[in-house]
Structure 1
Amino acid sequence: MTQTGPTRRARLTDVPSVSPDHGENGHGFVWRFWIIVVLWAALVVVRSDALGIPVRDPEGQMFRGRLTKALVFLAVIALVEAVVRARSRRRARDGFVGGVARVLRERWTRQRLLLVITGLVGYHVVYLGYRNLKSWNALNPLRDDDLLAVDQALFLGHSPAVLLHTLLGQSYAAETLAVVYRSFTYVIVLGLVGSLALVPHVRRAYVFLSAATWAWILGTLSYYLLPSLGPYAEVPGEFASLQHTPITDTQAEYLVERAFFLADPSASDAFVSLGAFASLHVGFTTLVFLMARYYGLRRTSRVLAGYLAAVIVATVYFGWHYVVDDIAGVLLGLAAVQLGKWTVFPPAWSARSTPGREEAA
């Protein structure tokens, strides 16, 4: 019997192919993604015209600033990955710099670069629309009393936030959970950009991009379904004893922003950031966790499961969200991932040929 040497477990970034994944010919998944983006943008424009409030990007933070940061992260991750792969190849004839350049050329063909950059542009167009629609939702009547009643019913008349304050304390726990809550933005950006930079087949990378795009859309719909501010605004006394953290300042700032918008929605700098149902912190963290599993990253997904639990606790602890918001957030994340898969690999095609999965990293 012929013996074979031990095989190395495949890693997520091993395959250098940048072509669309096998199966469906062409770039149908790209067209489907952009149809979603265009329809969403059209909805935002129609709503803007109906309200007489223009689409805004305060100081370029929602589109230009976020897109620029995403592109910077993309360049850094791509370079680091190229350095690691070049060192592992150890081709003396190329030299270190030449080896890095070779890896970058292999991964970043003109086709992949175009698909990744335009995909990020479309994603941020949807995000800009989400932020504006979320802002305009301040004009609708609030439903915090209903959500608060559901929370109290779930906990037999008790406040889940107060229970957490009693269990965890109101000083060290506040500082720790503030770090967890504020880290959310970086986790989302790194997850999204990392998938676009590291997943070998660009089509499979688009599953994360499409799922994240759907998450903003579903989040907007949930905000309009049950407009709300969150427990910290509805029952502020429950959070008055918490140690002061950056979260405290942000919450106060958001309430001032909302009051300013309601006083004069036509003001050029009037913009609202508040929205409780559903929790997109929980929804997006759920999404990142599920995408780690989808890409076969077992160890990473275990870490993210713990991080998701910490984010859920933080949202309730600080009064950003009701427990029912977090439940809705988990369901939103599940739905967004499924819609993202269907956008890239439509059910009719998937029934004929299920794409292979990379092994765990």
Structure 2
Amino acid sequence: MVETATPPALRRTPTWVRILRWPYTFLVAFSIAVGGFTIWASYYLDLPMRDPEGFLGPAYVRLPMLGLLFIGGGLAVQAFLQTRSLRGLRSRVTTIVRTEWSWSRLIHAALGLIAFYISYVSYRNLKSFLPIVREEVLHDADLMKMDHWLFFGHYPALVLHDVLGTGFIALILSTIYVSYLMLTPVSLAAVLVLNKDLSLGAWYATALSLNWILGVGSYYLVPTLGPVFANQSLFADLPGDSGVAALQRSLAHARYDVLSDPWATEKIHGIAGFASLHVSVVLTACLFFAIIGINKWLMRGLWVYFTGTVLATIYFGWHYVADDIGGVVIAVLSIAIGAAVTGNWGYRKTRSRERKAQKAALHSSSV
């Protein structure tokens, strides 16, 4: 009896290969490892783990709410664009859910949010452990001297105060800086929910999660408090009623409470300078959306927002110049690693080839 070879199309891909090719494999494994390490560190250091709270309540409430909000909002907009009328909107939404929202898509969106949440909570807690582990080796004096040297005998924050003033511009930069707290979960929920390409959601969620852990690693590598906490006199002329000023006071109080007795407070220590995660996360968003391609005006707005973020980090004394450079490095690494582990390396070239092939097919069919 002659044996016939199984056609390639009918050969079943081994399970381990499919697992490796799944865009969420790295993110799930990474979040489990990071979460497990944080639990171990909490036990080993005898320090409490806390759930950080933000706008709309705790993260475990905030992220599902954002997911549901974007699902509902995206469905409503999509249905309206298809019908151009409010009549029959509900039935059209139902149709879209049945035809486009499979359980697989919903599970993938949930996985992205959960893995991000685990990485974020781990980051916040590991950051809170920082002063107990590495407080004795602060490098603020060294980085402040470097800033002074880079700006030819001037402190960069004071240069910005002189150039930009300390009035209305302070309120603008404060708004930009504080709004970052909403940008990250909102942009992640938008990508996970509104984009049908599951690998892109995995890429963005992976890149953001890497930001948190690479960032907290940099805190332990080069522990600093940041200019405003190391030398408050440099920022005495800034308005005390801005959102940034309130946030700095809140962080200072939380630092005192945690250092006094970490078990007696529900607060988390949140002060660390190197590297700037404001810069890294916002740049990660800019790079990601620039690569996948979005509306040019939205993209320009993102770059303006990034510029304002960089200025705000120096202007308000959150960071030294080296901190922002470190943030840029983390962003580039996060995007690159995220692309590699989710199968999106060379995404722009692949998309360009696909578009050329589609145009060629349309041209040949019309001839």
TM-score interval (norm. to shorter):
0.7 to 0.9
Residue in 1 that maps onto 2:358: none
Gaps of 5+ in 1: 1-23
Higher helix share: 2
For residue 110 of structure 1, what is the amino acid of its counterpart? W
Seen in structure 2, the aligned counterparts of structure 1 residues 191 and 51 have a Cα distance that, compared at 3 Å, is same
Rounded to whole Å, the distance in 2 between the matches of 1:51 and 1:322 is 29
Alignment partner of 1:170 out of 162, 166, 177: 166
What is the one-letter code of the residue matched to 2:331? G
Q: Counterpart amino acid of 1:157?
A: G
Counterpart in 2 of 1:54? Answer: 48
Matched, 1:329 2:322: no
How far apart in 1 are the matches of 2:186 and 2:162? 34
Match of 1:95? 88
Of residues 102, 106, 113, the one that matches 1:109 is 102
Is the 1:63–1:128 contact (alpha carbons within 8 Å) kept by the matching residues of 2? no
Structure 2 equivalent of residue 78 of structure 1: 71
Alpha-carbon separation, structure 2, partners of 1:213 and 1:62: 19
Query: Secondary structure of 2:275's partner?
Result: coil
Shift of the alpha carbon at 1:61? 5.3
Q: What does residue 11 of structure 2 align with?
A: none
Name which of 282, 285, 288 aligns with 2:282. Answer: 285
Taking the aligned partners of 2:110 and 2:267, their CA distance within structure 1 comes to 30
Once the 2 structures are TM-superposed, how far is the Cα of residue 71 of structure 1 from its aligned partner?
2.1
Describe how 1:251-266 pairs up with structure 2 within 5 A.
Answer: 251-266=248-263
Residues of 2 paired with 1:126 and 1:88: CA distance?
36
**Alignment-derived partner of residue 310 in structure 1:** 308
Question: Judging changes above 3 Å, is the alpha-carbon distance between structure 1 residues 34 and 63 closer, same or farther for their aligned structure 2 residues?
Answer: farther
Question: Which shifted more, 246-255 or 166-175?
Answer: 246-255
* Aligned: 1:134 with 2:127: yes
5+ unaligned residues in a row in structure 2: which ranges?
1-16, 356-367
The match for 1:32 among 26, 31, 40 is: 26
Confirm or deny: 8 A CA contact 1:287 1:337 kept in the other structure.
Answer: yes
CA distance in 1, matches of 2:268, 2:84: 54
- Structure 1 residue runs of 4 or more that deviate by more than 6 Å after TM superposition: none
Q: Which amino acid aligns with 1:356?
A: R
Q: Structure 2: how far apart are the matches of 1:82 and 1:164?
A: 44
Are the equivalent residues in 2 in contact too, given 1:292–1:298 (CA < 8 A)? no
Q: Which residue of 2 aligns with 1:21?
A: none
Moved more, 294-303 or 139-148: 294-303
Q: Per-residue CA shift, 1:228-282, capped at 9, x if unaligned? A: 1111111111101111212212212212221222222333425201111111111
Output the CA distance in 1 between the equivalents of 2:91 and 2:172.
Answer: 44
Aligned residues: CA RMSD: 2.5
Deviation at 1:298, TM superposition (A): 4.6
Tell me the percent identity: 29
TM norm structure 1 = 0.85
Q: 2:246 aligns with which of 249, 269, 278?
A: 249
Q: Quick one: which of 26, 41, 44 aligns to 2:38? A: 44
CA distance in 1, matches of 2:316, 2:54: 25
Question: Of 196, 202, 206, which residue of structure 2 is paired with 1:206?
Answer: 202
Take 2:350 and 2:26, find their aligned partners in 1: how far apart are those partners?
Answer: 18
Structure 1 residue 336, shift from structure 2 partner: 0.8
Q: How many residues align?
A: 331
1:343 aligns with 341
* AA at the equivalent of 1:69: R
How far is 1:207 from its partner?
0.6
Residue type of the partner of 1:31?
A: T
TM-score normalised to structure 2 length: 0.83
Equivalent residue, structure 2, for 1:233: 229
Structure 1 contact 41–126 (Cα < 8 Å) conserved: yes
Aligned counterpart, 2:359 = none
Matched, 1:356 2:354: no
Find the partner of 1:188 among 180, 184, 201. Answer: 184
Over alpha carbons, which structure has the higher Rg?
Answer: 2
Q: Shift of the alpha carbon at 1:191?
A: 1.3
Q: What displacement does 1:354 show?
A: 7.1
Q: Deviations over 1:110-169 (max 9, x none)?
A: 111111112211210111110010011012121111111111111112100000000111
CA distance in structure 2 between the aligned counterparts of 1:279 and 1:84, rounded to whole angstroms: 36
Q: Which residue of 2 aligns with 1:14?
A: none
| Corresponding residue number in structure 2 for 1:13 | none
Kindly state the Cα deviation for residue 91 of structure 1 after the two structures are TM-superposed: 9.3
Q: Deviations over 1:159-210 (max 9, x none)?
A: 0000000011111111111111111122212211110011111122111011
Tell me, in whole angstroms, the C-alpha distance in 1 between the residues paired with 2:56 and 2:199: 24
What is the alpha-carbon distance in structure 2 between the residues aligned to residue 263 and residue 147 of structure 1? 27
1:76 and 1:62 mapped to 2: Cα distance?
Answer: 15
Contact conserved, 2:191 with 2:204, CA < 8 A, in 1? Answer: yes
User: How much does 1:101 deviate?
Assistant: 1.4
CA distance in 2: counterparts of 1:355 and 1:38, whole angstroms: 31
